[in-house]
Amino acid sequence: MHTALRRTLFLILLLIIWELGFRIFQWGWKFPSPLQTFQAFYNGFAHGHLLNAIGASLRRLLISFAISIGIGTLLGYLFARYRYFDETFGFVVVALQTVPSIAWLPFAIIWFGLNDTSVIFITTIGATWTMSMASRTGIMNISPIHLRAAQMLGTGSGYRLFFQVQLPAAFPHWITGIRVAWAFAWRALVAGELIAKGVGLGQMLQDGRGLGDTATILCVVIIIAVIGTISDHFCFKQLEDRIVLRFQLKK
């Protein structure tokens, strides 16, 4: 309760400083005032522009994120399981992780065109490599004694060992990878939507830039930050706490 009160007071203070800065430094159209931003929020939701953009972006993001989690977890398992695969393709993945996903956008446009598929492709790339490295680290840090004990109890060395032992034991690293991958996916999504055609938050940023509508631009930035915070606190953190409690893992 005290934390919520402190955050509320801080936000009020921030709004006051924001308004004073707007009036004192006379930012004009270069940076909106709180009132202009609230008006842009109202107009965007009243006319449905913001809701349509949020829905389109979240649809692309969730599809890409699900694909990246699946591919990244599989790659991480293969890296941890097979040394040759880790020393060859794993090395390539580490190199690819340093390449910004937006660098693949020209290829995506050539292969798929200016459409949703290009954005989904770019967003998937932005999150997959992080997930694979996090999964690899989590699985490789499992004690061999625990794995041998699980095998002696009948899990074998196949999918039962992975789902019943390796994945729960690697979960602290895995959920960290998910959190980082979620942030990378957002960055790649917005970057892709800035160029690709269609409705989306990135396209709203591009339209706002073209019209000099900084209030709309700031609205989109705030929406992305709010969605990211809410999803991390009410989804990823809750999932982490439940799994840690379920399997008696240490954070």
The predicted-structure confidence for 176-218, as pLDDT tens digits, reads as follows: 889 889 989 998 998 888 877 778 898 899 888 888 889 999 9
pLDDT of 32 > 60? The answer is yes
**Which of the four pLDDT bands, split at 50, 70 and 90, describes residue 38?**
very high
Residue 75 has a pLDDT of: 92
Mean pLDDT along residues 230-251: 73
pTM of model > 0.85: no
Residue 160 has a pLDDT of: 73
**DSSP string across the chain:** -HHHHHHHHHHHHHHHHHHHHHHHHT-GGGS--HHHHHHHHHHHHHHTHHHHHHHHHHHHHHHHHHHHHHHHHHHHHHHHH-HHHHHHHHHHHHHHHTS-GGGGHHHHHHHH-SSHHHHHHHHHHHHHHHHHHHHHHHHHTS-HHHHHHHHHTT--SSHHHIIIIIHHHTHHHHHHHHHHHHHHHHHHHHHHHHHS-SSSHHHHHHHHHHHT-HHHHHHHHHHHHHHHHHHIIIIIHHHHHHHHHHHT---
- The residue among 123 and 195 whose pLDDT is bigger is 123
Residue 1 has a pLDDT of: 52
The overall average pLDDT reported for the chain is 85
Residue 161 has a pLDDT of: 74
Residue 249 has a pLDDT of: 56
Tens digit of each residue's pLDDT (9 = 90 or more) over 44-77? 999 888 999 999 999 999 999 999 999 999 999 8
Tens digit of each residue's pLDDT (9 = 90 or more) over 216-228? 999 999 999 999 8
Mean pLDDT along residues 5-27: 87
Mean pLDDT along residues 128-133: 91
- The residue among 1 and 143 whose pLDDT is bigger is 143
